[in-house]
Amino acid sequence: MSKPVENLDEQKEEMNMLKAVAFLGLEWQLCQSFLFYSLSVI
Q: What is the pLDDT of residues 3-39, one digit of tens each?
A: 667 788 999 999 999 999 999 999 999 999 999 999 9
- Could you tell me the CA-to-CA distances from 16 to 5, 34, 36 in Å, in that order? 17, 27, 30
CA distance 42 to 40: 5
For residue 34, the one-letter residue type is F
What gap in Å lies between CA 42 and CA 38, rounded to an integer?
6
H helices of 1-42, in order, are: 2-41
Q: Where are the domains of the chain?
A: 1-42
Reported pTM: 0.56
- Name the band, by pLDDT with cuts 50, 70 and 90, for residue 41: confident
